[in-house]
Structure 1
Amino acid sequence: MDTSDSPTGTARYVFKIRFRVEPLIPEVSVDPAEFQTTLYWAADPPGEAGWLFFRDHLWRGDVGDEPYLREIAEDALGVPVTSISFSELRTDRAYLDAFRDAIGANLDAFRADTVEGAMKKYLGSSIHVV
C-alpha cells in the first residue's frame, strides 16, 4: 500500500463477493454465469466523511446487512452481486494509529468503553497490518 501522499496512511476493506453475468440479448449465454472475486474498497481517512463505513456496515467481523451491502457493491460494479462477505480491514500502521485516535475521540458514537472494544465490536479480529 502506498502511503506517500497521506499522513494518515491508507486502508482498504476486503470483501469476497460472488457476482453474476447476465447477457443483455437472448442470443448470448455464458457458462459459468457466476464468479467469485475479491473486492477492495478504499477506506476513507479517519475523521473524514465516510470513515464510519465499518460501523455502518460491519458487525463483529461480518457484514451487518448483506442485502444492502450487496446493493452498494452492485451499484459500484454494475453487475448483480449474489453474495458478499467481509474478509478484513487491510491497513498500514499510520492509518491504524489515526483510526484508533479517531475512535478514541468518539467512543460514545460506538457505545464502547475502549477503542479496542469498539474495534472488536465492528471488525472482530479482522484487521491486517501490512
Structure 2
Amino acid sequence: MTASDKHGDGAQASYVFRVRFRLEPGPPEVSVEPDSFETVLYREADRPGSDGWLFFRDNLWRGDLGDQAHFRELTEEALDVPVTAVSFRELQTDEAYLEDLKEAIAADLDLFNADGVSKVLLKYLGSSIRVE
C-alpha cells in the first residue's frame, strides 16, 4: 500500500531515519566484511487524527529521537538485524499532508502542551520538515 492509498486523499508523508546496523553470521566459519552498514529507513506517517498519528509526539523531541535506546530496539524488531545507531532526519511531506497535520494539531493543542501549531511542530520536529 502506498502512502497515497493509505491516506485516500493523495496526502502523503514519511518519517526518515538514518540507520546503522551490523551483520552477525551464525556459523563460526562464516565472516563478512564489512560487517556494518548504513541505510535510510522510511516510515509512513499515519493520517492526522487516526491511530498512530502522534508518532512524532511520542518519539521525537526538537528534531531528534527522544529515547535513542528504545527506538533502536523498535528498529531492530522492524528490520530483524542488530541496530547500532538510528537517528531521525526529517519528515518528508507534501502540502496536503502538512495542512492536515496542522489542522489536527490545532484541533487539540492540549495534547501537546503548547499554545500554537508552529510551536508544536518546532517542539517535536525542530526544523526537520521537508515539503515536496
Question: One fold, TM greater than 0.5?
Answer: yes
CA distance in 2, matches of 1:2, 1:78: 23
**What secondary structure sits across from 1:50 in the alignment?**
coil
Once the two structures are aligned, what percentage of the paired residues are identical?
55
Q: By how many angstroms is 1:2 displaced? A: 6.3
**What secondary structure sits across from 2:47 in the alignment?**
coil
In structure 2, the partner of 1:43 is 45
Q: Normalised by the size of structure 2, how large is the TM-score?
A: 0.94
CA distance in 2, matches of 1:102, 1:2: 18
Q: Normalised by the size of structure 1, how large is the TM-score?
A: 0.95
Q: Greater helix share, 1 or 2? A: 2
Note the residue ranges of structure 2 that are not aligned, 5 or more in a row.
Answer: none
In structure 2, the partner of 1:91 is 93
Q: Kindly indicate whether the alpha-carbon contact (under 8 Å) linking 1:8 and 1:98 is maintained by their aligned counterparts in 2.
A: no
**What secondary structure sits across from 1:109 in the alignment?**
helix
Partner of residue 123 from structure 1, selected from 122, 125, 130: 125
Partner of residue 73 from structure 1, selected from 67, 75, 86: 75
CA distance in 2, matches of 1:121, 1:52: 13
The CA RMSD measured in Å over matched residues stands at 1.4
**What secondary structure sits across from 1:17 in the alignment?**
strand
Deviations 1:68-118 (A, max 9, x none): 001111111000110011100000111100000000111001000000000
CA distance in 2, matches of 1:8, 1:101: 16
Post-superposition, which runs of at least 4 consecutive aligned residues in structure 1 deviate over 3 A? 1-5
**1:111 matched to 2:113:** yes
CA distance in 1, matches of 2:3, 2:104: 21
CA distance in 2, matches of 1:96, 1:126: 13
CA distance in 2, matches of 1:71, 1:86: 14
